[in-house]
Amino acid sequence: MAILVLAEHDNSALKQDTAKVVSAACAIGGDVHVLVVGHQCGAVAQAAQALQGVGQVLHADHSVYQAHLAENVAKLLVELAPNYSHILAAASSVGKDTLPRVAALLDVAQLSEVVGVLHADTFVRPIYAGNALATVQSHDAIKVITVRASAFDAVAQGNNASVVSLDKVFEAKAQLVSQALTVSARPELGNAGIIVSGGRGMGSGENFGMLEQLADKLGAAVGASRAAVDAGYVSNDLQVGQTGKIVAPNLYIAVGISGAIQHLAGMKDAKVIVAINKDPEAPIFQVADYGLVADLFDAVPELIAALD
């Protein structure tokens, strides 16, 4: 049994999620290979070599793969698929763009957002916005799986797996015209150890400045509820929840967030949850490890001052 993990990266650095997907691959058992596809991404291949549990790194380096277009990468994965029993990627935007194409081209069912491995063909995945866990078994010869990275611990480094260069180039009709990236000095929401998240209770976009100050003191990322995003307080890439990002930081501070199930679906796996809300009946207090019933406009400045 051999398992292929699609590495996620920006051509210069390997994303931490890949080490977590490798951990899921190791739980399946078998020979784990990592595919690094991109352009001038030798440093990424080296980082993948160092991951414990990886037997081989496949390195496809070509200008065609510069933008990691799912159309091209999926074709490469399909070409490699007959050698593998499982193809895994993180359930990130990249994984969710690429793997369904692979599953469709291979005519197999995809297993999405896997959070547990029971057996090589049996997996656990959330359903109903995380309110229930389904155990699913696949009889497909090749199992195409997206992994919820936050459910797995990253494998350690210290390996030196062999690297095989691939020269197959697949170019689909799609082209990247442009991309507008949000540049932030704060950690990325998906990988942050601490997240300070604001909801409708923040009242305005300007008031989010307060949470940014708090986040900077803590080295945290800033998140938001959908109500805060829909009200235009912050951009939608900050949204946490069922239709936003799924996060599992060590510490999640929810400020002025009521705790609707769709929000909880994105953050309830945080190790420690702190809630600040003026309503003692707010459902967020049912999942919070520490709850502060207070007006956020008093509590947050006090917290910032205390951290000074």
Binding positions for ligand FAD, rule: CB under 6 A: 199-201, 225-228, 239, 241-244, 256-258, 260, 262-263, 266, 277-279, 282, 295-297
CB nearer to ligand FAD: give 204 or 243.
Answer: 243
CB 260, min distance to ligand FAD, A? 4
CB neighbour burial string for 103-114, b if at least 16 within 10 angstroms, e if fewer: beebebebbbbb
CB nearer to ligand FAD: give 187 or 283.
Answer: 283
Amino acid, res. 198: G
CB nearer to ligand FAD: give 218 or 282.
Answer: 282
| Cα angle 90-95-99, degrees, rounded to a multiple of 5 | 115
CB nearer to ligand FAD: give 43 or 299.
Answer: 299
The Cα 70–Cα 92 span in angstroms is 12
Q: Residue 82 — φ and ψ, nearest 5°?
A: -60, -20
CB nearer to ligand FAD: give 65 or 208.
Answer: 208
The Cα 108–Cα 196 span in angstroms is 40
CB nearer to ligand FAD: give 6 or 91.
Answer: 91
CB 253, min distance to ligand FAD, A? 12
The Cα 70–Cα 101 span in angstroms is 8
Q: What is the DSSP string of 130-173?
A: TTEEEEEE---SSEEEEE-GGGSPPPPB----EEEEE------S
Q: What is the DSSP string of 265-297?
A: HHHTT-SEEEEEES-TT-THHHH-SEEEES-HH
CB 300, min distance to ligand FAD, A? 9
CB 303, min distance to ligand FAD, A? 13
CB 281, min distance to ligand FAD, A? 9
The Cα 244–Cα 68 span in angstroms is 22
